[in-house]
Amino acid sequence: MATVFYVHDNAKSRRLLGSVLTDCGFEIITAADPVEAVRRCKELLFDLALLDYQMPSLTGSQLAQEIKFLVPDVPIVLISDYTILPASELMFVDAHFGHGTSLDDLVETMRRLTNSKSSSRI
């Protein structure tokens, strides 16, 4: 079972998507804001970071950069309300899912990224 560190400032979104991802076989750890996430990143073990793009104090892209600095091998998936983000916002992100993408695509990509990570540890 892959562990996902899910960071989203909206509690309802965290509960809803967290529940769906748990039903899909992921273990979910959540954080409510990017500052908390950076602090907790140093003490948690997780296989993938799932980040909201629009959050207070740091964007999901900025948080992705911080996480990659602390845990370089962890894949990062960014979710947003934007269909497209500039390449500069995706430099530290392994996948971006914007408006109009499906939950199935998100879950499949998360599985692929966590499976490729675990097979590279062998």
Domain boundaries, the chain: 3-55+83-115
| HSE toward the beta carbon, residue 65, CA cutoff 13 A | 8
For 68-79, write each residue's pLDDT tens digit. 999 999 999 999
For 52-93, write each residue's pLDDT tens digit. 999 988 999 999 999 999 999 999 999 998 888 889 999 999
Cα distance between residue 28 and residue 90, in whole Å: 23
Cα distance between residue 49 and residue 79, in whole Å: 11
Which CATH superfamily groups domain 3-55+83-115? Answer: Response regulator (3.40.50.2300)
